[in-house]
Every structure is written in C-alpha cells, then in structure tokens.
C-alpha cells in the first residue's frame, strides 16, 4: 500500500472515503479485493470508526460490498449488470444534454473545452491512470448546465461503477483515438447549439464505449 496521505481539512471520514474511492477507481484495488479495516486504519493512522463509515459510504455508491466471512470487498459486477448501467447512462445522459445545451453559457463551453484539452494531453502522454476520471469530468461539465442535480447525482454514481472498467478498456482496446474524436464531435455540436446532433452523437458514443468494453471484458473473463 502507498504511504499515508496528509489530512488537513474536512472530516477524517470524508478524507478516507475520497482516498479509497480514488484508489478503487484507479484500479489500485481490483474487483474482489478484500478491504481489511484494521489494515486501512493502520495505513491512514486513524481509528477503525472512520474507516468503517467510509466503507459504508462506498457500499452505498456501489463500489464496495459487504460479504459474510470476508467483510468489505471491492464490488464485482456481472457483464449483464455492466451492460445495464450503460443502457441507463445513455437514457439519462442524453436527456441531461438535451436540457443542458440551451442553457450553456460561454463560460460553460470554455470549461468543457478546457477539460477536453487536458484529456487530449493525457491521451498523447499515455497517462492511463487519468483517463477514467478525465472522461467523467468531461461528461460532468457537459451536463452541469442542465439544472438537474438529482439526475446528475445518479449519473455520477453510475460513473463510479463503470469508470474503472472503461479506463482499462481504453488502454487495452487501443480505441483512444475514437473516444477522443467522438468527444470533440459532441463538443462542437454543443458549441453550435445543435441539440439533436449532439444528443445523437452522445448516444452513439455511449453505445460504442459499451460495445468495446463488453468485448474486452468477455475476452478477459473467458
């Protein structure tokens, strides 16, 4: 395990939760990995109480599950469950984008463009560890103007369950060029205010991502 981070703000539970979430999403803890409370508490130099509370929060997000005789483990998803999450993503995200585009300000578009530039740089640098989080941030900034906070919250939770798989898929499939191209096409349609085109491109993007991911996972699990 990595060295204990320095905690300076927020509650200890918040900080342990954030750090564990980031490590799960980055793939440091693979699916099925047992998260022992005493070991985590020792690593962060905290009591087991905030660790237990952090794991319970991650359980609510779907990243961790509690099993008899094992305790907390990194959640494992079946192929059918992953496919279902992408179907829900397409329905909700397309609806969010449809609401967001008419409300996008120049500042909103600049924010999306800025994260897209960082995303492009990470692809060129081959910085796999950042792809999943940057992808989530790109989509999140697209949808924020929608003024649909509850739907956004659901999308973020679904993202927590798929980002670790999608990140690995991009690295293994070699489809970073396609993903990057599709992101730029979606952004340009948003910038032009073309709602139907942008929503259509987003739907195709999510479908392509799901198909590529499912193919990779089926191969890996065989």
Token pair of 207 as six digits: 């479908």
- Coil, strand or helix at 109: helix
The parts of the chain modelled with pLDDT lower than 50 are: 1-3, 6-9
The architecture in CATH of the region 79-221 reads: Up-down Bundle (1.20)
Q: Which CATH number among 3.20.20.70, 2.60.40.1120, 1.20.1250.20, 1.10.10.10 corresponds to the domain 12-74?
A: 1.10.10.10
Residue 169's pLDDT is what? 60
- The model's pTM is 0.72
The residue extents of the domains of the chain are 12-74, 79-221
Q: Which run of H or of E encompasses 72?
A: strand 71-74
pLDDT digits (tens, 9 = 90+) for 107-164: 999 999 999 999 889 888 877 667 777 888 999 999 999 999 999 999 988 887 777 6
Residue 64 pairs with which residues in a beta bridge? 74
Q: Which run of H or of E encompasses 32?
A: none
């Amino acid at each position: 395990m990595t060295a204990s981070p320095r905690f300076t703000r927020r509650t200890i539970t918040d900080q342990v939760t954030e750090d564990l979430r980031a490590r799960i999403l980055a793939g440091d803890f693979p699916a099925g990995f047992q998260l022992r409370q005493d070991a985590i508490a020792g690593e962060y130099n905290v009591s087991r109480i905030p660790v237990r509370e952090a794991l319970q929060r991650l359980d609510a997000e779907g990243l961790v599950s509690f099993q008899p005789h094992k305790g907390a483990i990194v959640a494992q998803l079946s192929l059918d469950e992953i496919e279902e999450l992408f179907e829900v993503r397409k329905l909700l995200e397309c609806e969010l984008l449809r609401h967001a585009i008419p409300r996008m300000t120049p500042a909103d578009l600049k924010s999306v463009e800025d994260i897209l530039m960082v995303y492009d740089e990470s692809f060129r640098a081959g910085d796999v560890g950042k792809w999943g989080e940057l992808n989530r941030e790109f989509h999140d900034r697209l949808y924020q103007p929608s003024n649909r906070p509850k739907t956004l919250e659901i999308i973020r939770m679904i993202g927590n369950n798929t980002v670790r798989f999608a990140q690995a898929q991009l690295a293994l499939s070699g489809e970073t060029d396609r993903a990057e191209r599709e992101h730029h096409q979606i952004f340009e349609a948003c910038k032009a205010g073309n709602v139907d085109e942008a929503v259509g491109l987003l739907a195709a993007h999510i479908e392509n991502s799901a198909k590529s991911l499912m193919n990779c996972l089926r191969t890996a699990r065989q």
